[in-house]
């Protein structure tokens, strides 16, 4: 391994050497417990979540609202646009 390299491929004069790095067993167990991407379902929005967006989207921090609801900010933004149509002005 080259100094300063975090165990990734070492880039040089047209060659690359891949260095295998062991992953801590605790971290590996947590990663393995995560759902696979094909098992993730789209968020089913509730009337309460819609009301939260309606009341607070343009007056509170977007990331904080998303955290309270339990989805990412882009999902909230997409839902806001569904609720308010294509002409909705989303303050970012």
On whether both 55 and 80 belong to a single domain, the answer is: yes
Q: What is the pTM of this model?
A: 0.53
On whether both 27 and 51 belong to a single domain, the answer is: no
Q: What tokens were used for 92?
A: 């970012």
Name the packing angle between helices 47-56 and 62-69 (round to 10°): 170
What pairs with residue 11 in β-bridges? 16
On whether both 54 and 26 belong to a single domain, the answer is: no
On whether both 52 and 29 belong to a single domain, the answer is: no
List helix spans (H) across the chain. 25-33, 47-56, 62-69, 73-84
* Averaged pLDDT in 10-residue chunks for the chain of 92 residues: 52 73 93 76 89 96 95 93 75 54
52, part of any domain:
yes
39, part of any domain:
no
Structural domain count, the chain: 2
**pLDDT for the residue 38:** 67
**Domain hosting residue 27, numbered range:** 10-34
**pLDDT for the residue 86:** 65
């Amino acid at each position: 391994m080259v100094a300063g390299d975090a165990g990734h491929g070492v880039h040089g004069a047209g060659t690359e050497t891949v260095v295998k790095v062991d992953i801590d067993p605790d971290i590996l167990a947590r990663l393995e417990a995560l759902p696979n991407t094909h098992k993730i379902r789209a968020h089913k929005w509730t009337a309460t979540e819609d009301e939260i967006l309606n009341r607070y989207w343009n007056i509170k921090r977007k990331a904080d609202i998303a955290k309270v609801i339990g989805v990412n900010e882009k999902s909230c933004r997409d839902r806001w646009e569904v609720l308010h149509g294509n002409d909705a002005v989303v303050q970012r």
